[in-house]
A and B are shown apart, each in its own frame.
Chain A
Amino acid sequence: MAFIAAVTKRSSIARGIKRPSTPYLLLIPGLAWLFLFFVYPLINLASTSTQTPAASGEIGAYVQSFRFANYFDAISGAKEQFIRSIIYALIATVIALAISYPLAYAIAFKSGKWKNLLLVLVVAPFFTSFLLRTIAWKQILGDQGPVVTVLRFLHILSPQAGLTASAFAVVTGMTYNFLPFMTLPLYASLERIDPRVLEAAGDLYANAITTFRKVTFPLSMPGVVAGTLLTFIPAAGDYINATLLGNPRTKMIGNVIESRFFEIVDYPTAAALSFLLMAAILVLVAVYVRRSGTEELV
């Protein structure tokens, strides 16, 4: 009893003086994590991006000299890969959307008792390693693989032509690898739609196509936006697919950053490119979210 009284008294004092601090206390672990593993490295990276090689000439030694021209040098050396990254990521996102939308739609509205099994199947590839799955595409698209065999048989592909080590293979790999990130948010937003709203559209003279255009699709926009962002952002920075499935002419910005960092040990350029990529993605995403007008739907 005394304990309860004490608590009541304390909480009433707290209410009188300041708001309860528990919610803020709960934020601490997250904030600490975010600071340690995001904010601090980011500051570090920003600092690295304007450094110049140390006078000693030792490899990997750099000193801060606030050389912002690093950014200009970085981009002028990697313009092609930069643009290619954005384009590949865009194509992969569009294809992933085209594949995922009907899939998510079918799971949400037509799958009945198979719903959970299908959802597990969507996520199932994650049970094996990202690297292995990507390497598997080498086999699938390889000259002895099923895709090439069929395409050659249909004379779509000439007997000499192949599919591996090409832009096609890179985009295919990216589409495949990021597909669940598209499907799951789409499914979540489609599944949330009240079927009676769709019936109401039919009742109000909208046929199946109009119902989709005017009701289903607009209501699934939060999923479309979330899915495209979750696909586009990692795809734009990806380098595994380009490394394993591409050729020297399909290098992406991720490959450049990787080689600058690990091979050439040119930390300032790698850092500057990372920042430029981040800025480009942020701008694109901001424009996209604004244009899609989904703020009020979420």
Chain B
Amino acid sequence: MANKAAGTKGDLRLSNLTKAFGDFKAVDDLSLIIPEGSFFALLGPSGCGKTTTLRMIAGLEEPTSGTIEIGTTDITYEKPYSRPVNTVFQNYALFPHLTIFENVAFGLRRRGIKDVKDEVTKVLNLVELGHLADRKPVQLSGGQQQRIAVARAIVNRPALLLLDEPLGALDLKLRRQMQIELKWIQTEVGLTFVHVTHDQEEAMTMADTIAVMNEGRIEQMGSPVELYESPKTVFVANFLGQSNLVKGKIEGVSGSDLQVSVHGNRIIVPAGRNFAAENSDKSVLIGIRPEKISIEHSEANTLGDGRISDISFVGVSTQFIIEMPWGQELTVFEQNDGGASHLQKGDTVQLSWKPEFTFALDGTADVDAGTSVNPEEL
């Protein structure tokens, strides 16, 4: 049963990976390197190609073209059972006829390891379910099954652990807890984790690096902070958190700053945060995250006055919807530290923010890209 790729370690390298189903390209010329030992997330809405990418890495789908390598070993056409890759499946896919112990021991036994007790016990203790070894999967709760699915995969010490929406079936509170736990397990075992999710918060909580996917391609890749603070496309700006995007026109450059005219207001964008490609009519979208906007203080960038059209209290913050004179509605989050508590629907407020928080995106892009994702579809 020994497989030739068993000892393989190293970075995962996807090169020009493409998967077409008929005319539809689920994954389109995808290239990326996932460093050994990292916690990597593929984030995107349903149908963006993230799961197909994962299934190709697992060997459950064959790529139309391109290669998959771990270290220097090409595993593109390797059978799933001879890859040093294990998967935590979306609905766990535990073996219903086997005990928890045998579920976890399954991979070890298939590789011809006779004495599995120590390994299995160790990993069951790692996920704190050692006492359930003799139970059957149906006797476990969703959260417990999830942990067994992780245990069953990591006991094999794969070069790569793939997680396919692993927390999708859990309720919110349990999901939060498992996010932290999974991150801890990853640090503990030191394996490379590749995590597929549509939940941006989940990706940001756990991953070192996130690749945001859309329509079979990577929109942007980077650390959670990088993606959130400096989104380079409209899709990323909208899919990862919320953004206010307003159309403007580049007026000129002064020093290292860009001067943008936005509905009659002069907005300053640091040149290094201008991610828009040069275009003939100099149109851009200026972007600002809702929590960066102040309605209390006056900062250098301002869009003038707007009217509060809706207020919703979210606990730590309050969300204001502000209707601007040109008809667009902008979102503002204010900390609930007492400052904005006197505001009411219909009040007029001034929106302003520090120039360094501003980013500029391609002015020809669809402003709504990445917003209309219906969670029910995912």
A47 to B87, CA, bound (A): 64
1/0 contact string of B113-156 vs chain A (CB within 8 Å) = 00000000000000000000000100000000000000011001
Give min CB distance, A288 to chain B, whole Å: 18
Contacts of B86 in A (CB 8 A): 203-204
Which of B15-23, B90-98, B248-256, B314-322 forms contacts with chain A? Answer: B90-98
A205 beta carbon closer than 8 Å to chain B: yes
B89 beta carbon closer than 8 Å to chain A: yes
Contacts of B91 in A (CB 8 A): 194, 196
Residue of B59, B79, B152 near A204 (CB, 8 A) is B152
Residue of B nearest to A193 (CB): B96
1/0 contact string of A164-199 vs chain B (CB within 8 Å) = 000000000000000000000000000000101101
Contacts of B89 in A (CB 8 A): 196, 199-200, 203
Residue of B89, B90, B106, B111 with most partner-chain A CB within 10 A = B106
A210 to B152, CA, bound (A): 17
Question: Is the Cβ of B110 less than 8 Å from the Cβ of A204?
Answer: yes
Residue of A nearest to B152 (CB): A204
Give min CB distance, A292 to chain B, whole Å: 12
Tell me whether A202 and B80 are in contact in the complex, defined as CB-CB below 8 angstroms, given that A196-B90, A210-B110, A296-B136 are known contacts.
yes
A206 to B96, CA, bound (A): 16
A33 to B107, CA, bound (A): 52
Contacts of A221 in B (CB 8 A): 97
Tell me whether A197 and B96 are in contact in the complex, defined as CB-CB below 8 angstroms, given that A204-B86, A204-B110, A210-B110 are known contacts.
yes
Contacts of A210 in B (CB 8 A): 110
Give min CB distance, B59 to chain A, whole Å: 8
Give min CB distance, B227 to chain A, whole Å: 30
Residue of B60, B79, B110 near A199 (CB, 8 A) is B60
A199 to B86, CA, bound (A): 11
Contacts of B136 in A (CB 8 A): 296
A207 beta carbon closer than 8 Å to chain B: yes
Question: Is the Cβ of B93 less than 8 Å from the Cβ of A199?
Answer: yes
Inter-chain contact total with CB atoms closer than 8 Å: 69
Contacts of B80 in A (CB 8 A): 199, 202-203
Residue of A200, A205, A221 with most partner-chain B CB within 10 A = A205
A219 to B106, CA, bound (A): 15
Give min CB distance, A130 to chain B, whole Å: 36
A206 to B107, CA, bound (A): 8
A201 to B97, CA, bound (A): 13
B58 beta carbon closer than 8 Å to chain A: yes
Give min CB distance, A226 to chain B, whole Å: 16
Residue of A197, A200, A202, A210 with most partner-chain B CB within 10 A = A200
Residue of A196, A197, A207, A296 near B81 (CB, 8 A) is A207
A297 beta carbon closer than 8 Å to chain B: yes
Give min CB distance, B320 to chain A, whole Å: 45
Give min CB distance, B190 to chain A, whole Å: 20
Residue of B nearest to A294 (CB): B97
B1 beta carbon closer than 8 Å to chain A: yes
B3 beta carbon closer than 8 Å to chain A: yes
Which A residues between 107 and 158 are near B, CB-CB below 8 angstroms?
none
Give min CB distance, A296 to chain B, whole Å: 7
Residue of B nearest to A199 (CB): B60
Question: Is the Cβ of B95 less than 8 Å from the Cβ of A205?
Answer: no
Question: Is the Cβ of A203 less than 8 Å from the Cβ of B95?
Answer: no
Residue of A nearest to B83 (CB): A203
A205 to B90, CA, bound (A): 19
Residue of B nearest to A221 (CB): B97
Question: Is the Cβ of B93 less than 8 Å from the Cβ of A196?
Answer: yes
B12 beta carbon closer than 8 Å to chain A: no
Question: Is the Cβ of B81 less than 8 Å from the Cβ of A200?
Answer: no
Contacts of A205 in B (CB 8 A): 1, 3, 81-82, 107, 110-111, 156
Residue of B3, B81, B96, B156 near A202 (CB, 8 A) is B81
A244 beta carbon closer than 8 Å to chain B: no
Question: Is the Cβ of B96 less than 8 Å from the Cβ of A200?
Answer: no
A234 beta carbon closer than 8 Å to chain B: no
A41 beta carbon closer than 8 Å to chain B: no
Give min CB distance, B268 to chain A, whole Å: 53
Question: Is the Cβ of B87 less than 8 Å from the Cβ of A203?
Answer: yes
A218 beta carbon closer than 8 Å to chain B: yes
A215 beta carbon closer than 8 Å to chain B: yes
A207 to B83, CA, bound (A): 11
B163 beta carbon closer than 8 Å to chain A: no
Question: Is the Cβ of A204 less than 8 Å from the Cβ of B107?
Answer: yes
Question: Is the Cβ of B81 less than 8 Å from the Cβ of A203?
Answer: yes
Residue of B3, B58, B85, B106 near A201 (CB, 8 A) is B106
Contacts beyond the supplied A199-B89, A201-B95, A204-B110: 5 A-B pairs with Cβ under 8 Å? A199-B80, A203-B58, A206-B81, A207-B79, A210-B110
**Interface of B toward A, CB cutoff 8 Å:** 1, 3, 58-60, 79-82, 85-87, 89-91, 93-97, 106-107, 110-111, 136, 152-153, 156
Could you write out 11 A-B pairs with CB less than 8 Å apart?
A196-B89, A196-B91, A199-B87, A199-B89, A199-B93, A200-B95, A203-B153, A204-B107, A205-B111, A205-B156, A218-B97
